[in-house]
């Protein structure tokens, strides 16, 4: 998993909100933290966003696995 298109990234964010019921505040925090890490990339990197969500305890390991499963079908 590396850079993704803006459309796929938007779908990922929607999945996080609608399927995993992550709060907008949690997602915004992870995105802001991700921007500091990925400031040189043209498109967002899903790997860093997901690791930030997990590292800060915003998703469980089980939820992280669901996200990876979803990403496999999203491309």
Q: What is the pLDDT of residues 10-63, one digit of tens each?
A: 999 999 999 999 999 999 999 998 887 766 565 567 788 999 999 999 999 999
Structural domain span for residue 38: 6-74
12 lies in some domain? yes
61 lies in some domain? yes
1 lies in some domain? no
Query: CA–CA separation, 42 vs 22, rounded Å?
Result: 25
Query: CA–CA separation, 26 vs 19, rounded Å?
Result: 14
pLDDT score, position 47: 83
Phi/psi at 13 (5° precision): -60, -40
60 lies in some domain? yes
20 lies in some domain? yes
58 lies in some domain? yes
Helix, strand, coil percentages, rounded to 5, for the chain = 70, 5, 30
Structural domain count of the chain = 1
59 lies in some domain? yes
């Amino acid at each position: 998993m590396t850079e993704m298109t803006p459309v796929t990234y938007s779908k990922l964010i929607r999945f996080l909100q609608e399927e995993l019921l992550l709060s907008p505040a949690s997602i915004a925090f992870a995105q802001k933290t991700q921007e500091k890490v990925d400031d040189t990339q043209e498109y967002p990197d899903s790997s860093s966003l997901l690791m930030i969500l997990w590292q800060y305890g915003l998703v469980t390991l089980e939820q992280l696995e669901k996200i990876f499963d979803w990403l496999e079908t999203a491309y």
